[in-house]
Amino acid sequence: MSDVIQLLPDHVANQIAAGEVVQRPASVVKELMENAIDAEAKTIKLILKDAGKTLIQVIDDGNGMSPTDARLSFERHATSKIRSADDLFQLHTKGFRGEALASIAAIAHVELKTKQANDEVGTALVIEGSAVSSQEVVVTPKGTSVSVKNLFFNIPARRNFLKSNTVELRHIIDEFHRVAMAHPDLSFSMYNNGSETFNLPMSNYRQRIVNIFGSKTNEKLVPVAEETEVVNISGFVGKPEFAKKTRGEQYFFVNHRFIKSPYLNHAIAAAFDGLLKQGTHPSYFLYLEVDPQTIDINIHPTKTEIKFDDEHTIYALLRSAVKHSLGQFNIAPILDFEQDENLQTPYHLKNKPANTPNIEVDRDYNPFRQDSGLKAKHQRERFTKQPAQQWESLYVGLESKSSKSLDNFSEVHFESDNEAASIFDDSQETQNKQATYQLHNKYIVSPIKSGMLVIDQHRAHQRILYEEYLKNITIKDAVTQQLLFPLTMHYSKQEIGMISELREDLEAAGFIFDTLEDETVAVSGVPVGVSESEVSIILEALLRDVENDVPDTHFSAVDLLAKSIAKSLAIKTGQTLLKDEQEHLVNKLFACKEPNITPSNKPTFITMSVDELDKKFI
């Protein structure tokens, strides 16, 4: 049998490596921005077109590269960060694998311009699919500019798997946030399709968070600080009353590198135990500094997961630090047996005797006593009263009408609706009337001819509301109820942008916006049936769906909006329903076009036949 194992060509190996490193445009943004940071840049600019599908350009004012380094940087396993395997446990830089630029060049058109500070001219390099097209001498400012065009041009299958521009841009913004928050001492800016999205000047950690998530974030932050021999913890956590139903604003940074750690996230949740509403998650921006020798970063291609030598100690310290901060700033309930300073006597009044108030009181005054004296006369003039013996005079002039009322009682007429004759006889109507029962405030059980019907009340109501709102939005026939006072809410700039894109559909659903700019949303009208407290819930759910890849190219904004509103307003599990409400829900469900499934394709009810029930008793 002939040999079947062979070495892969370099361009094929690079494409396979690119599948691990470059998953979407956001992966390219992360790698290029981290390279700019490693080059000691102070100002980093990110330029995008079509959410990175057409162009991703990162410009920095870092150290730059020599012509030889510029050419070698696109080779696999070429890096300036490490020299031996031991260096993997002494890392102080972002990149070290030497695969990022080689992987990017294998699946895109790359143009590189770079110049060192002491050189008069720089180097321009053009690479297409791992093949170097040209290398020239150019005039360029100090630093490096990398342009990545037509991502996945030679792998159309990978390009087809990319989401819509809105979703891909959201992923890029997430990566931009992670890099920018890890380095507040650097200046970052971002441009998408010619418009400025972010302009973050050099600042501190708190100001960087406020610049990214909006000015209202400042009042939500509680500082956390703890220094130990194992780890130094700093950063901020959000106040419990501002907790959200999403996990969006949760960031861990270890040695200025963003990481994901469910284990450490559990420590934060434990610190907030008893302070959050059910189903909400706290916000946190925490920076951990540890000895590089005690962590292993090289366990995941994207380097977002790391291993700690002593996770249990870090868990305990992190939980304790957060809990201490919540108690220190009076966020968590505490036991305090000390006296309140506001209730203590001021120092300069400590030895001063208290003044007894002088009030003249006539202790012999009696308003019911009849005196002939001047004082009593004066008092009678002020307080005129009838003697107690003349109480019968209060009823003089009143005629008793009780007898007259009793005589006329027979003439009283009552209004009532005319009883309509039933088209069914009583026996048939009683036989057709089906009873419903609510089980554990979650399911509605109803008998049917073949057996039993079990309906999930939450999912059933979702289907009913979804079809109603989808119809209203499509035909633009929604009814709006005006609010007495406009409802003002605050969001970040990118969230305002997403709401602006959906504004037309939201208005078709019944919302009226007075203000939609900067970081403020003012709503003066809402759809009928939606309360003021539910408006923010609907908008947050809508933004969460946009962020979580729901509005793919196969989904319309109208469909997404109807789903989000229905999910937010549907009857919740645990809510008690009256008999009439149960029957109304069942009737409305089976009047829908597709009563079997929810808008997210989950079953709304199940049926159990009599035969299935009989088998349970065998």
In the sheet that holds 520-527, the strands lie side by side as: 480-490, 520-527, 512-517
Lowest pLDDT segment from 4-13, 295-304, 407-416, 501-510: 407-416
- Over the range 364-377, which residues count as b (16 or more CB within 10 Å of their CB) and which as e? eeeeeeeeeeeeee
Tokens of 529: 């049936």
Fold observed for domain 208-328: Ribosomal Protein S5; domain 2 (3.30.230)
Q: Where are the domains of the chain?
A: 10-200, 208-328, 437-606
Supply the CATH classification number for the domain 10-200: 3.30.565.10
CATH superfamily of the domain spanning 437-606: MutL, C-terminal domain, regulatory subdomain (3.30.1370.100)
pLDDT-derived band at 45, boundaries 50, 70, 90:
very high
Neighbours of 505 (CB within 10 A): 20
Residue 219 has pLDDT above 70, yes or no: yes
Evaluate whether 488 touches 480 at the Cβ level (below 8 Å): no
Average pLDDT, the chain: 81
Amino acid at 585: L
Give which of 487, 489, 475, 550 is closest to 520, Cα–Cα: 489
DSSP annotation string for 46-100: EEEEGGGTSEEEEEE-S----HHHHHHTTSTT--SS-SSGGGGGS--SS--SS-H
Condensed to tens digits (0 to 9), the pLDDT of residues 373-393 reads: 555 555 555 545 555 556 666
Q: Which residues lie closer than 8 Å to 550 by C-beta, 6 or more apart?
A: 560, 563
| CA distance between the termini of the chain | 61
Angle between helices 493-501 and 532-547 (to 10 degrees): 90
Residue 395 has pLDDT above 80, yes or no: no
Mean pLDDT of 306-324: 90
Residue 505 has pLDDT above 90, yes or no: no
3 state DSSP class of 330: coil
Residue 237 has pLDDT above 60, yes or no: yes
pTM over 0.95: no
454: left (phi over 0), alpha (psi -120 to 50) or beta: beta
Condensed to tens digits (0 to 9), the pLDDT of residues 247-281 reads: 778 999 998 889 888 899 999 999 998 888 888 88
